[in-house]
Amino acid sequence: MTRTHRRRFALLAASLATLLAALAFASASASASEFCGGATISSIQTCFGASRTFQIVSGRGTTTGVCVGYNEIGRGGCSAGAAFAAEWNIGSSAFRTPRIMGNSSNNTRVEWADAS
């Protein structure tokens, strides 16, 4: 193998390693990210998670149904009761602040909520 071939091979290997690292970081950001676990919410108490990039927001309450959404926008998807999860596929990934609120005047605890 000539010196030129070795240099080209090293450049190709470095480029491939950089591409694989970039793909690994990109796929990690698309995973589900929890927020507001254990928070007490109701129809007038909303819990906001940390801002992040996501397309789907979902969650479930322990004693009543919940509604999920993002930023200050009203409810997206709501659940029918404590045994059901609420989910809203917003349609495109963007940087937003996920939110969850109860759909009853009674308090409930957030069993789980995530944005992916």
Rg of the chain in Å (alpha carbons): 21
Mean pLDDT of 12-29: 45
* Residue 28 backbone dihedrals phi, psi, to 5 degrees: -70, -35
CATH number among 1.10.10, 1.10.3470, 2.60.120, 1.20.140, domain 33-115: 2.60.120
Sheet holding 98-102, edge to edge: 46-48, 98-102, 66-70, 77-78
Structural contact between residues 68 and 109, judged by C-beta atoms closer than 8 angstroms:
no
CA atoms in the 13 A half-sphere facing the CB of 111: 16
Which tens digits make up the pLDDT trace of 48-94? Answer: 999 999 999 999 999 999 999 999 876 689 999 988 999 999 999 99
* Most confident listed range (12-16, 25-29, 79-83): 79-83
Q: What's the pLDDT score for residue 15?
A: 53
Amino acid in position 41: I
Question: At a CB cut-off of 8 Å and minimum separation 6, what does 95 contact?
Answer: 51, 52, 53
Domain boundaries, the chain: 1-30, 33-115
Which tens digits make up the pLDDT trace of 37-59? Answer: 999 999 999 999 999 999 999 99
pTM of the model: 0.71
